[in-house]
Amino acid sequence: MKPTRREFLTTLAATTGIGVLAAPASAEP
């Protein structure tokens, strides 16, 4: 069953949000 466009965008937004939140944390020494 293929994911719908809404599900795809939601997953993409969640992944991007996690990446944006994790980037500063991983940049910390």
Give 3-state DSSP helix, strand, coil % of the chain, rounded to 5. 80, 0, 20
What per-residue confidence (pLDDT) applies to 20?
A: 81
pLDDT for 28 beyond 70: no
Q: How many CB atoms lie within 10 A of CB 26?
A: 7
Tell me the C-alpha distance between 21 and 29, whole Å.
Answer: 16
Q: Please state, in angstroms and as integers, the Cα–Cα distance from residue 21 to each residue in 4, 11, 29, following that order.
A: 26, 15, 16
pTM of the model: 0.52
Is the model more confident about 13 or about 22? 13
What per-residue confidence (pLDDT) applies to 5?
A: 94
Best CA proximity match to 8, nearest among 19, 20, 16, 22: 16
